[in-house]
Chain A
Amino acid sequence: MRRALVAAGLACAALVVLDVLLPRLLNPYYLTIASRIGIAIIAAVSLQLVNGFTGQFSIGHAGFMAIGAYGSAAASVYLGAGLLDGLAGVLPAPLARALYFPLPLLVGGLAAAAAGLLVGIPTLRLRGDYLAIATLGFGEIIRIGILNLDAVGGARGFSLASPAYPAIDLRFEGLGGIYAVVVLSVLAIARLVHAGGGLAFRAVGEDEIAAESIGVGATRVKVEAFVVSSFFAGVAGALFALSEGYIHTNSFGFTRSFEIVVFVVLGGLGSLSGAIVAAAALTAAPELLRGLGEWRMILYSLLLIATMWLRPQGLLGRRELSLPRWRWRSLRLGARRAPARAQ
């Protein structure tokens, strides 16, 4: 109990430092990179649940990010602006904003989860590469569908500005808030995977038939994993929309989906901390390499190939990074090392 209080206090202090101090120390360019890293982490960890633990292979994650982004942006512009205006009339402004911002994130996540359910039930019957290509297909269908929706700007993109309330700032700024969402999402998925119920995910990932034979409903488990994963992809998309303030379907194409798959495989399938490390490193790398000019993406792709040469099992394999002295039972990311996958 005391530990939990200390943890909560430390977390709050860290968030305040992030929110208040960092904008004074770092220029906005670095802050943008930091928030994009946070968003990439949520996307990677959520895909790890499906691809790494449940053993499915989805390459359409960006589609669910798109639904989260557009869902939360549309909700903010058409409903949220009025709500925030009303709240700000009653409560002090910072409190009103703090109370309001979880709502669009939740809307984005739930919209994406609903889409995940609709897509997951028919497609998760497919296996292996057929599943991969079907999820890729759904991702593109979602993107092109949104591109043709005029209510969210279509090909012009969609700005987070409500015509009815021009004075209201709908953008969600501050690294603290973003990283609070990142930490909560990662912890939720870690709890889900490493708690008792999470064994079902891993059982299906190891061997579907064996899992079925001991009473795990494989289809149901796969759909559950897919829906949860879509929810967090939606949250990541919503964070992206709210922090950038302008979204376009080009940000959610299949190249983005591939990028998330690369995070997951490069980090090590079945390793949450691996996905986090890979997402952070690969999001930062193109920016750090910016000094190289046009050689930057060439170096980036060579780096990708070289890493797979050296670590074909991913950076961390199936292991987790753990910080020994900080090990709280309730907050722990790592599990005991999982047995090697049977071939």
Chain B
Amino acid sequence: MENFLQQLLNGVAWGSIYALIALGFTMVYGVLKLINFAHGEVYMVGAMTGYYAAHALGLARAPSLLGLAATLAIAMTACALLGALIERVAYRPLRSAGRLAPLITAIGVSLLLQNAGQLVFGADPKFFPPLIESREVFRAGAIAVSNIQLAVLSTAMCLMAALEFVVMRTRFGRAMRAVSYDAPAAALMGVKVDRVIQGTFVLGSALAAAAGVLVGLSNPKIDPLMGLLPGLKAFVAAVLGGIGSIPGAMLGGLLLGVVETFVAGYLSSTYRDAIAFVVLVAILLYRPSGILGAPQLEKV
């Protein structure tokens, strides 16, 4: 039982990172109907920027919560700019070219960032500096909560709450929902669709960068190819929850993290990477539009 609760906690912490990445996928899908395969690489760039920022600020020697906040802010800003740039260069010129052309440029951007990352950052793994000293803050029986887990969870929750606020309570959020609902109609109502799409990339990329820094915190080994599998699994999480739905992405991310942790803990870690896809296929067969996704209507 205690082991179960401990695994659940680890799973939720891991899942909140998936959820942060999945949010970017689901928002971009919402406004553009595009699977942004380059999103996992944005997360990698976030982790790398965090690494260099932490070293430049001298945080490797003097860990502090303030340092973590500064690192997060720098990585999120850098990736927000990167996201805007990717949208401008790779997707906007193909806005009228159907849905598959941008998918190929997405794969191209993903390859570009992986290989540029290997060139710029070096192919060998780096070790993220400990931004806060790891210690146990809470213990009940055999269940231990470390301050790192606490930091990961609280940061993720704050960011998701902030996103919820932006999407539901601001002018930009309303414009985003309008574009997602019906882009041509939104354009007729005076919504600047291109700006909204760019803003969506900015938001999503910033969240991915935050996920990158949080991963560096709890799982310090980072390298230029680290975005590949988590990116794909976060996409799976977004589809699980119902792609296009923001609460769906959060739910899917958490679910995936918990399931993966349990499989690695109780069964075998070699099946860990497959389980995400097994869960995905199982859920899609019963709910073809994901857990919280709206069923697609067929128009004749």
Contact = CB atoms under 8 A, between A and B. Distances in A.
Interface of A: 122-123, 125-130, 132-134, 136-138, 140-141, 144-145, 147-148, 209, 254-255, 258, 261-262, 265-266, 269, 294-295, 297-298, 300-302, 304-305, 308-309, 312-313
B185 interface: no
Nearest to B112: A301
Contacts, number: 119
A209 B300 CA distance: 7
Contacts of B277: 136-138, 140-141
Interface stretch (B52-60, B70-78, B235-243): B235-243
Interface in B221-238: 228, 232, 235-236
A137 B278 CA distance: 7
Contacts of B146: none
A153 to B, nearest CB: 14
A130 B101 contact: no
B243 A301 contact: no
Contacts of B98: 312-313
Nearest to B97: A312
A301 B110 CA distance: 8
B72 to A, nearest CB: 29
15 contacts: A127-B288, A129-B243, A130-B243, A137-B276, A137-B281, A138-B277, A140-B277, A141-B281, A145-B274, A148-B270, A261-B107, A297-B114, A301-B111, A302-B112, A308-B97
A301 B107 CA distance: 8
Contacts of B270: 144, 147-148
B138 to A, nearest CB: 36
Contacts of A302: 108, 112
Contacts of A300: 111
Interface in B102-154: 102-105, 107-109, 111-112, 114-116, 118-119
B35 interface: yes
Nearest to A293: B119
A137 B290 CA distance: 14
Contacts of A126: 284, 288
B116 A130 contact: no
B94 to A, nearest CB: 5
